[in-house]
Structure 1
Amino acid sequence: MRTMRNVADVGALTVLAVGSATAFSATASAAPNVTPQGVCGKAYKTVNSAPIGSLGTVYLTYNPANGENCVATIRSNPGTVKTMGTWVYVPDTGDSAEDVGNYTSYAGPAYVYGKGHCVSWGGSISNTYVTVENSNCASLKERRVTEVR
């Protein structure tokens, strides 16, 4: 009886260890599959994007139901912690939002109400910065700047 219990305990621990390893590997492998909708929300549709060199991409999304823009910066190759940022600004209203910190795969979300307004937005990874001004405006020409500092 005691032998059967030890075998059952070892079997249960093996299942627990395999299940934990599977759960942790699923989380780690999910990081490269980060999407703007995963960061901002399913209702947000990507309306613009800009590469941040070869390091990643900053995405501008919009939710027509609530009139909000959301910006997310997503790395091409998640891994070690890097300084990252994302920001959005509505010049007409002065509203802005940002998220800057040390992250392994993405920065954001940063939300601001932007229905009927031009927006300026951008993102950074390490020392590479992208700024997009006068975006999604009918009358103004968009201006993009990428710089390495």
Structure 2
Amino acid sequence: MRITRNIAAAGALTALAVGATTALSTTASAAPNVTPRTVCGSAYKTVNSVPVGSLGTVYLTYNSSNGKNCVATIRANPGTVKNMSAYIYVPDTDEWAGDFGNYTSYAGPAYVYGRGYCVSWGGNIDNVYVSVENSNCAARTERRVTEVR
């Protein structure tokens, strides 16, 4: 009885894996190009970016009509699920937002009100982490850090 159950479970897992592989390969090849504007919204313009090694880019965008910043981490080559994040922090107001998880093409959007404030932001793809502190303000010098963990 136990052997039959193990064989049935193995067969079910194989069928699930084949089905998932087929579904993911169809989705990945049919996915449209992802841009910061498609992730954050059409009113958001890219104001800064930082490469995540050769894996992709974290984008900082801004919407001048509502004063909000948005951050998105976008992979250069979408495909299999990878650990990813996008975050943004406004030190003067202690407001932050982030998106952390396992994704096939992008992490985000993460929004904060940033008009008139310096922002710190960043993200990761797999084991490559980037951060930008004191960004987009004239009063302070921007500091960029890339780490491989």
TM-score range, shorter chain: 0.7 to 0.9
Q: Secondary structure at the match of 2:38?
A: helix
Mapping of residues 58-73 of structure 1, within 5 Å = 58-73=58-73
Number of residues of Structure 1 aligned to a counterpart in Structure 2: 126
Give the structure-1-normalised TM-score: 0.81
Tell me, what secondary structure is at the counterpart of 2:31? helix
Q: Measured at CA, do residues 143 and 32 of structure 1 come closer, stay the same or move farther in structure 2, by a change above 3 Å? A: farther
The CA deviation string for residues 75-103 of structure 1, in whole angstroms up to 9 with x for no partner, is 00000000000000000000000000000
C-alpha deviations, 1:93-141, integer Å up to 9, x for none? 0000000000000000000000000000001000100000000011111
Secondary structure class of the residue paired with 1:73: strand
Task: Read off the aligned partner of 1:101 and give its amino acid letter.
Answer: G
Q: 1:75 to 1:92 in 2, by over 3 A?
A: same
The structure 1 segments of at least 4 consecutive aligned residues displaced by more than 2 Å after TM superposition are: 24-32
| Match status 1:89 vs 2:89 | yes
**What is the 5 A alignment of 1:11-90?**
28-29=28-29, 31=31, 33-90=33-90
Which residue identity lines up with residue 123 of structure 1 in the other structure?
G
1:59 is paired with a residue of what secondary structure? strand
Whole-angstrom CA distance in 2 between matches of 1:33 and 1:26: 15
Which secondary structure state, in structure 2, belongs to the residue aligned with residue 117 of structure 1? coil
CA 1:25 to 1:78, structure 2 compared with 1: closer, same or farther past 3 Å? closer
TM-score, normalising length: structure 2: 0.81
Q: Contact between 2:28 and 2:78, CA under 8 Å: does it hold in 1?
A: no
Identity of aligned residues (%): 76
Task: State the structure with more CA Rg.
Answer: 1
Q: CA RMSD in A?
A: 1.7
Gap runs ≥5 in structure 2: 1-23
Displacement after TM superposition at 1:28 (Å): 3.5
